[in-house]
Structure 1
């Protein structure tokens, strides 16, 4: 009986449908692509203030630009290129498919 159950689970796993929708996959990438969440800095994708820094005694906001209207070529370029050491944008080492999924998620969720 245990062998039959074991074989059933193996065959079921091979032919089972995905349990996650494309939108859920895209959201999971946005929330945590490689341990560093896009949402932590970009929120819902709109321009926002990440924090402040002081320069010459003046408090200056650090603005994160909106990523919702970025064209795919620029979006891919930003995620694909190694970042400068002074950049706060992390390097994710994403695959081409992951970048496309993230882009679809960002551009299809334009709620302001």
Structure 2
């Protein structure tokens, strides 16, 4: 009977709890590993973007090689709609992640936690 009482207390606590983790914590987890490769691998730890690769490109017309690079944009200053559109309409080297709307919002909240706290 004592075990049943403990189980009831644990169950009641579980049901009363709003969430085990916050949206920002969930967003951080998703940003670091949404579906295999994390957003942070290209966009950086804080979403400011940067250079992914430096390579030589060949100009067929002139026959010369020149330095080129592949960069990712800063995703911090995007509106929520621009952010969601960028994820949902992946193109180029940006992979498709098939995130839900709630997952996209959680990632946005994580990346913009300082801005959102100022409001």
> What is aligned with 1:96?
101
Larger Cα Rg: Structure 1 or Structure 2? 2
Higher RCO, 1 vs 2 (CA within 8 Å, ≥6 residues apart):
2
What TM-score, normalized to structure 1? 0.75
- Bigger drift between 101-110 and 38-47 goes to 101-110
1:68 and 2:76 correspond: yes
Q: Secondary structure at the match of 2:94?
A: coil
Take 2:108 and 2:3, find their aligned partners in 1: how far apart are those partners?
A: 46
- Structure 1: any 5+ residue segments left out of the alignment? none
Output aligned runs, 1:1-112, within 5 Å: 10=11, 12-43=13-44, 44-56=46-58, 57-81=65-89, 83-84=90-91, 87-109=92-114
How many aligned residue pairs are there?
107
Take 1:38 and 1:94, find their aligned partners in 2: how far apart are those partners?
A: 12
What TM-score, normalized to structure 2? 0.72
Take 2:30 and 2:103, find their aligned partners in 1: how far apart are those partners?
A: 7
RMSD over aligned Cα atoms: 2.2
- Structure 2: any 5+ residue segments left out of the alignment? 59-64
CA contact (8 A) 2:55 2:68 kept: yes
